[in-house]
């Protein structure tokens, strides 16, 4: 067994040695996947920059990529159905790390990492989507718990979730950004009612969630009372990186599907389509490399507004590529394979038919922050342009027009 230093004294070579020792003791070919991931968490090799006991070693964040590559090289498993875990892994985990108590980290992080428990995000509401801070779901303190009433919408995967990250208004007498508190909601609690929202694709990956007198213990509050907007920003920044900054090989996304159609169907080619495909292919490759740079920046710090730019670019590019796919297929592209009502646990951006790609891609510019909101973030935080005029800045939430 290799003896390697811990914490900040770790370097890439020491971590590779730790991974090699771990895999030697837990053969991926014969070890149950859940057991393998649980042992990896216990060994501090889940997120090496997390503290010891929370899945990490307190190592520099930049070394996570070294660990991931070494595990991949040695054939280690990743959580099954990773797309259903994107909210837990990509959004809840970094928020719990930043604002959770030691007890919360101990309770939530390990089953989140292994995939034993799925998470959803209870943020958007019918009257508070783009302007999330206008949310009206109320949480009222009652002893050592909070009583929550309200409605959430566009909640991906709520039908499969064990836990939800929830923001609710706890003080209506202060301006809207200051009266919000952040909670972890048990989706199996009485009063939580999840209803499917059937999309134009025929699927119901999204949900409405009604909350009626749901009791959330104060021990499941993340951050201080009234500071939920600041906590939510950590979630939102990580969400945009999760959606727009995921790793892909060259032609790994929808552009690969369209490029294959071009190669297989010479009869569909026209000079105009050739020009359109070439332009989109170059843009897709530029976006892929930009995402790689984003992930490298993330490895050395916290996600910034670059994630908003990546998510905005992903949404618009995906919609244009899916449009070209329909054009290449002609009449065949107008057929649809199956309108059967289904409840997938995650988005499917690559399989199925061209019609599905086209319809599903319309949601890309809404989910995870609308393109309009992302443009505002880029204008203000990247370009330094003046912010939008906010007449409600100092007005108590209860006095805002509803």
Distance, in Å, from the CA atom of 83 to the CA atom of 246, rounded to the nearest integer, reads: 11
Q: Please say whether the dihedral angle defined by the alpha carbons of residues 110, 114, 120 and 121, taken in this order, is positive or negative.
A: positive
Distance, in Å, from the CA atom of 13 to the CA atom of 401, rounded to the nearest integer, reads: 59
CB count within 10 Å of CB 1 equals 8
Q: Are strands 138-142 and 145-152 parallel, antiparallel or unpaired?
A: antiparallel
Cβ atoms of 370 and 243 within 8 Å: the answer is no
Q: Please say whether the dihedral angle defined by the alpha carbons of residues 204, 110, 51 and 20, taken in this order, is positive or negative.
A: negative
CB count within 10 Å of CB 160 equals 19
Which is catalytic among the residues 70, 205, 239, 325?
A: 239
Render 197-230 in DSSP notation, one character per residue: E--TTSB--EEEEEEEEEEEEGGGEESSTTBHHH
Active site residue 239: yes
Closest by CA to 245, choosing from 204, 194, 299, is: 299
Cβ atoms of 261 and 329 within 8 Å: the answer is yes
- In order of 226, 325, 354, the CA distances from 348 in angstroms are 36, 16, 12
Could you list the active site residues? 239
């Amino acid at each position: 067994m290799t003896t390697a230093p811990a914490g900040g004294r770790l370097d890439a070579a020491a971590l590779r040695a730790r991974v090699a020792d771990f895999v030697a003791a837990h053969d991926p070919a014969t070890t149950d996947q859940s057991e393998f991931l649980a042992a990896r968490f216990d060994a501090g090799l889940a997120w090496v920059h997390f503290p010891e006991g929370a899945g990490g070693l307190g190592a520099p964040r930049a070394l996570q990529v070294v660990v991931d590559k070494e595990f991949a090289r040695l054939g280690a498993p990743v959580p099954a159905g990773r797309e259903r875990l994107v909210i837990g892994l990509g959004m809840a985990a970094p928020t719990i790390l930043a604002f959770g108590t030691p007890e919360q980290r101990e309770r939530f992080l390990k089953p989140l990492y292994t995939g034993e428990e799925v998470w959803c995000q209870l943020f958007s509401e019918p009257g508070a989507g783009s302007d999330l801070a206008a949310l009206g779901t109320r949480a009222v303190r009652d002893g050592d718990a909070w009583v929550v009433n309200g409605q959430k919408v566009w909640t991906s995967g709520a039908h499969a979730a064990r836990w939800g990250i929830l923001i609710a208004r706890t003080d209506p007498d202060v301006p809207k950004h200051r009266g919000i508190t952040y909670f972890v909601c048990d989706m199996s609690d009485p009063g939580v009612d999840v209803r499917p929202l059937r999309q134009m694709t025929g699927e119901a990956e999204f949900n409405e969630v009604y909350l009626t007198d749901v009791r959330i213990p104060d021990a499941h509050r993340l951050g201080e009372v009234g500071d939920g907007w600041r906590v939510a920003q950590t979630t939102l920044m990580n969400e945009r990186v999760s959606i727009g900054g995921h790793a892909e090989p060259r032609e790994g996304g929808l552009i690969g599907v369209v490029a294959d159609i071009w190669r297989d169907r010479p009869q569909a080619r026209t000079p105009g389509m050739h020009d359109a495909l070439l332009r989109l292919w170059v843009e897709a490759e530029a976006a892929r490399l930009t995402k790689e740079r984003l992930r490298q920046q993330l490895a050395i710090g916290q996600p910034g507004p670059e994630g908003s730019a990546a998510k905005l670019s992903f949404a618009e590019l995906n919609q244009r590529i899916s449009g070209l796919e329909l054009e290449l297929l002609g009449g065949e592209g107008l057929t649809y394979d199956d309108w059967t009502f289904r409840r997938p646990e995650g988005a499917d951006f690559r399989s199925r038919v061209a019609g599905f790609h086209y319809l599903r891609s319309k949601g890309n510019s809404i989910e995870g922050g609308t393109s309009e909101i992302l443009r505002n973030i880029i204008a203000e935080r990247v370009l330094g342009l003046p912010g939008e005029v906010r007449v409600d800045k100092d007005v108590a939430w209860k006095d805002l027009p509803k």
